[in-house]
Amino acid sequence: MTAVGAIVLAGGRASRLGGVDKARVTVAGRPMIESVVGAARDVAGPVITVGPGGDTREDPPHSGPVAAIAAGLAGLPGAVELVVVVACDLPDLDAGTLRALVAALRRPAPGSAPRVALAVDAAGHDQYLLAAWHRRALAARLAALEASGGVGGRAVRALYDDEEVVRVPVGAPARDVDTWADLAGRGPVGLAHVGAVLRAGLTPVPAVGRAPLDAVGAVLAAPLIAADPMPRGPVSAMDGYALAGPGPWRLTGAARRAGDDSPASLAEGTAARIATGALAPRGTDRVLRHELVEARDPGSGDAAVPGDATVPGDATAPGDAVVTASAGAGGVNDLRPVGEDWPAGHALAADGTVLDAALASAALSAGVERVSVRGPVRAAVVTTGDEVLPADTPPPLPPGRIRDTVGPLLGGPAGVLARAGFEVVGPLRHCRDTAEAVDDLLGGPAADADVLVLVGATGRGVADHLRSALERVGARVVIDGVRVRPGGSQLVAELPDGRVLLALPGNPLAAVCAAATTGRALVDALTGRQRTPVTAELPGLEDVASPGRARILPARPDGTGGWRLAHRVRTAHLADLAGAPALAVVPEGEDAGTVASSGGSRSAKGSGMAQGSGGRVELVDWI
């Protein structure tokens, strides 16, 4: 038999995945590179991985797939005659597909045998990084490219010559993962990637224009731009004196009060009393607060009384009083010029910012009449489970029945969903554990809600009809499971009427954890909300981290400014959350010492501590 080797490429920049290591992205519970290498090893003897942490690297790093293929070919033993070239981002690849490519090279053909067998995907597109080559042909093409300017930076299409190619339709196994949208509905995703998948897989709620005070709690869909400068005119920041020119100044003219827009001016060498917020008279060069000046009547030698916090009742001050600055007034000017805080056209906040009460107030100060916002995202909550009774059911309970201990907590005015950014609408409802009831819930008339939050029915047990119902109504699954404990059995789908389904696990603690993390990421995706995770340094992560999945654990203040974690919790109740105002998101075991963010694909190294010894983790306030 002809010796077969394989080159697996895993060194791209994954720019469309935000720079995340594509090879380690998990699809259907397994890192893509493991799936690809496993298929290659079933067909080939030696398998060379090219990329960070692989058997070799292209030179220089990130110089492109052709340079990577050249590096991989150099690492294969000389006895290899046929070379399988495959990218790491083909999670559906199987050994049968690779065998079909190799067989196409071995199959007799009229004239000369093909020198490369190229895979064609289900859409009829050539997949240049899924192919089998005669080694001599591959080496010759690489040598020709090297001689004509080098292999670095070359598009992989440059390797192929149509006269030497046989195309092999392979269908779904050639489907690659280039974007977060490509992961939609393809099995459990990492918790750190939930936000990115939701943003790629869902359409944001429409932007609407609202008055600032009516939009509190919504998310800006466009930058908030000041219509007016702040302040709009030159005003006094303090009760004191408006001054024109160098001192001393003769006190003259009417006192200026806040709200007085009558014409007024000061001649050089004169002064007028002024209140906080009042428009300065034309000609004012400076304002000094009352405690930094003295006003005297030259005739009597007595000091006037300028220190009142309010403007005196007399409209006109004595014309012969003289105002002088005290020794401590050097460099002080309490005159606020136009636009001191911001000019007209200034961006007060970027799109993606939550319009809180303070920002709404600033918008009013800036003369903004309407803001473009998304949300708040309206959520309707439905519980499931024939064993679940209303929370206020009096004792004794029938055998095998339980009270609803999580629905009211999720959907209350200050509940978990509200903390995540939802506006809960309508009463808490219940759905029976029958296929007909779930079909009616998903396919019935759309309620006045953007998101349907379903508690339970996410497993695959005898009473769980959710997935089959989603298929029957024609829903599109975006996330089917998250690699996290507790709360891994969760699901996000887009219903035919445009609503989004957020299906939470039935266990109370798992439901709370999923609502607090994936729920937040869902609000981010639907509104464009940008969040900065709150993080804390925690020691001993190796004691709680799990390989292959993140963990969510109750976090309690330790009394010294730090936090302590519960190492073990029960999911059937919320007793372990008592006294724990935050949930700590502990990254997957191999990533201990990094910051995990459920809001997106963002992941950053922590404080440089050794793996497993500790690091920074995200803290999520759940209530």
Spatial neighbors of 577 by CB under 8 A, at least 6 apart, are 509, 512, 554, 622
Average pLDDT of span 196-224 = 96
Give buried/exposed letters for 575-593 (b at 16+ CB in 10 A, else e): eebeebebbbbbbbbebbb
Spatial neighbors of 176 by CB under 8 A, at least 6 apart, are 87, 89, 90, 127, 129, 182
Is the pLDDT reported for residue 218 higher than 50?
A: yes
Amino acid 424: pLDDT: 95
Parallel/antiparallel/unpaired status of strands 388-389 and 402-403? parallel
Q: Quick one: DSSP state of residue 279?
A: B
Amino acid 106: pLDDT: 82
176 or 350, which is more confident? 350
Segment (H or E) for 357: helix 357-365
Is the pLDDT reported for residue 136 higher than 80?
A: yes
Amino acid 185: pLDDT: 83
Amino acid 447: pLDDT: 65
Amino acid 594: pLDDT: 45
Amino acid 412: pLDDT: 86
The C-alpha atoms of residue 286 and residue 291 are separated, in whole angstroms, by 15
Amino acid 39: pLDDT: 95
Average pLDDT of span 14-27 = 78
Amino acid 314: pLDDT: 40
Q: Which residues pair with 451 in a beta bridge?
A: 379, 500
For the chain, what is the mean pLDDT? Answer: 88
Average pLDDT of span 380-400 = 93
CATH class of 377-527: alpha beta
Average pLDDT of span 247-261 = 91
Residues 217, 220, 225, CA angle at the centre, nearest 5°? 125
Is the pLDDT reported for residue 312 higher than 70?
A: no
Q: 368: pLDDT confidence band, cut at 50, 70 and 90?
A: very high
Is the pLDDT reported for residue 108 higher than 70?
A: no
For residues 400 and 406, is the Cβ–Cβ distance under 8 A? no
The C-alpha atoms of residue 357 and residue 436 are separated, in whole angstroms, by 44
Q: 601: pLDDT confidence band, cut at 50, 70 and 90?
A: very low
The C-alpha atoms of residue 236 and residue 280 are separated, in whole angstroms, by 6
- CATH architecture of the domain 233-337 equals Beta Complex (2.170)
Average pLDDT of span 27-38 = 88
For residues 511 and 487, is the Cβ–Cβ distance under 8 A? yes
pLDDT single digits (tens) 322-339: 999 998 999 999 999 999
Q: 284: pLDDT confidence band, cut at 50, 70 and 90?
A: very high
Strands (E), 175-328: 189-190, 208-210, 219-220, 224-225, 235-236, 240-243, 249-251, 270-274, 286-289, 293-296, 322-325
Is the pLDDT reported for residue 590 higher than 80?
A: no
CA nearest to 16, candidates 28, 7, 8, 25: 25
Amino acid 596: pLDDT: 42
Average pLDDT of span 48-66 = 92
Is the pLDDT reported for residue 78 higher than 60?
A: yes
Is the pLDDT reported for residue 114 higher than 80?
A: no
pLDDT single digits (tens) 470-502: 999 999 999 999 999 999 999 999 999 999 999
Amino acid 275: pLDDT: 97
Amino acid 300: pLDDT: 55
pLDDT single digits (tens) 515-571: 999 999 999 999 999 999 999 988 878 888 888 889 999 999 988 888 988 877 888
Helical residues (DSSP H) of 423-557, grouped into ranges: 435-443, 466-473, 508-527
Crossing angle of the two packed helices 508-527 and 194-201, in degrees rounded to 10: 50
pLDDT single digits (tens) 433-457: 999 999 999 987 666 899 999 999 9
Amino acid 131: pLDDT: 95
Q: 262: pLDDT confidence band, cut at 50, 70 and 90?
A: very high
Amino acid 311: pLDDT: 40
pTM for this prediction: 0.83
Q: Which residues pair with 272 in a beta bridge?
A: 242
Average pLDDT of span 460-476 = 89
Is the pLDDT reported for residue 97 higher than 60?
A: yes
Amino acid 162: pLDDT: 65
Is the pLDDT reported for residue 280 higher than 80?
A: yes
Amino acid 407: pLDDT: 94
Average pLDDT of span 465-473 = 93
Amino acid 270: pLDDT: 95
Amino acid 109: pLDDT: 59
Q: How many CB atoms lie within 10 A of CB 121?
A: 18
Parallel/antiparallel/unpaired status of strands 224-225 and 240-243? unpaired
Q: Prior bond to 533 cis, omega within 30?
A: no
Worst-scoring range by mean pLDDT, 52-61, 158-167, 311-320, 472-481? 311-320
Give buried/exposed letters for 240-267 (b at 16+ CB in 10 A, else e): bbbbbeebbbbbbbbbbbeeeeeebebe
The C-alpha atoms of residue 450 and residue 104 are separated, in whole angstroms, by 51
Q: Domain spanning 4-178 has what CATH number? A: 3.90.550.10
Amino acid 306: pLDDT: 46
Is the pLDDT reported for residue 372 higher than 90?
A: yes
